[in-house]
Amino acid sequence: MVFTSHMELALEEARLAAACGEVPVGAVVVSPAGEVLAKAGNRTRELNDPSAHAEMLAVREACARLETERLTGCDLYVTLEPCAMCAGVIAAARIARVYYGASDPKSGGTAHGARVFSHPQAHHMPEIYDGIDAKACEALLTEFFTARRRLSGHSDA
Amino acid sequence: MVFTSHMELALEEARLAAACGEVPVGAVVVSPAGEVLAKAGNRTRELNDPSAHAEMLAVREACARLETERLTGCDLYVTLEPCAMCAGVIAAARIARVYYGASDPKSGGTAHGARVFSHPQAHHMPEIYDGIDAKACEALLTEFFTARRRLSGHSDA
């Protein structure tokens, strides 16, 4: 159980995303043996792809690497609560455990809103561990959006 | 309003998917001017990508073509009710209208289960029109799964 160092890798991906002007979220997929199979940050702007969330990219990369649609027994570390879309791909990929950092009451789809794993239509429900390195994960997001608001000025002024 | 011919294109993509051993679902993205921007069938097996559902691929292709994350004003035609993952990307891409064929009580995330558009966390809710060419859409799926069961024999015998 080395989730702090894996979440640190996810945080590093989130920081790299922020440096590129992307919303700072990062994700890492770890094999049952503890090997990092894939890591990614958000790239929706760079790729012009609304699906290019960190966890989506990490799951795709891990699947491509293992040449399989299923990541049975693998863990996912992500700095923000997955949205409905990402919860869907996590279920489809049969990820065993999800460790996430910051809660996302606005756009989350795991503990909030659609609660994708909490319906019979979710054929797979991973174990969920929330609040991992939550303060660091939240701080990155807060800093990013504060800076963006500052740059864009007060549009309501 | 030419949704029958657009759904026919989606059905053709579903048939092509079936011919490749993929679950027969097809999708088409249409611009506000009525231009077909992208069409795709399921390719999860071929691509080793659990996210490679027809509507996900079509949305990504249309975004790449227009070099944008948003498909504002565009319509999506898909032969099967979108799952939670695909409903998520449809919301993220700001698709205006979704026309779908067969209902999916088992894995759907639009009218069933997570009902992704029916929560405050869905920042965008498209208009939804269901049951378009439903019989043809369902027939493809039924034929596919019946043939697959026949090929695999009666595992419970």
Q: Which domains does chain B have, with CATH numbers?
A: 6-146 (3.40.140.10)
Q: Count other Cβ atoms within 10 Å, centred on residue B112.
A: 18
Q: Which residues of B touch A112 (CB under 8 A)?
A: 119, 121
CB A118 within 8 Å of CB A97: no
Q: Strand A26-30 and strand A36-41: pairing?
A: antiparallel
Reading chain A (157 residues) residue by residue, the pLDDT tens digits are 445 699 999 999 999 999 999 999 999 999 999 999 999 999 999 999 999 999 999 999 999 999 999 999 999 999 999 999 999 999 999 999 999 999 999 999 999 999 999 998 788 999 999 999 999 999 999 999 999 888 887 554 3
Chain B residues interacting with chain A (CB cutoff of 8 angstroms): 44-45, 47-51, 56, 59-60, 63-64, 66-70, 83-89, 91-93, 106-109, 112-116, 119-123
The Cα-based distances of A95 to A49, A74, A101 in angstroms read 23, 5, 17
Q: Strand B97-102 and strand A26-30: pairing?
A: unpaired
The Cα-based distances of A3 to A10, A39, A138, B1, B15 in angstroms read 10, 14, 17, 52, 44
What order do you get walking across the sheet with B26-30 strand by strand?
B36-41, B26-30, B75-80, B97-102, B127-129
Report the distance separating Cα B155 and Cα B157, nearest Å.
6
Indicate the pTM of the whole model.
0.94
Q: Report the largest interatomic distance among the alpha carbons of chain B, rounded to a whole angstrom.
A: 54
Contacts of B32 (CB under 8 A, 6+ apart): B73, B74, B96
**B72-88 pLDDT, tens digit each:** 999 999 999 999 999 99
What does the mean pLDDT of chain B come to?
94
CB A124 within 8 Å of CB A96: no
Report the distance separating Cα A85 and Cα B116, nearest Å.
9
**A44-76 pLDDT, tens digit each:** 999 999 999 999 999 999 999 999 999 999 999
Whether residue B86 is annotated as binding a ligand: the answer is yes
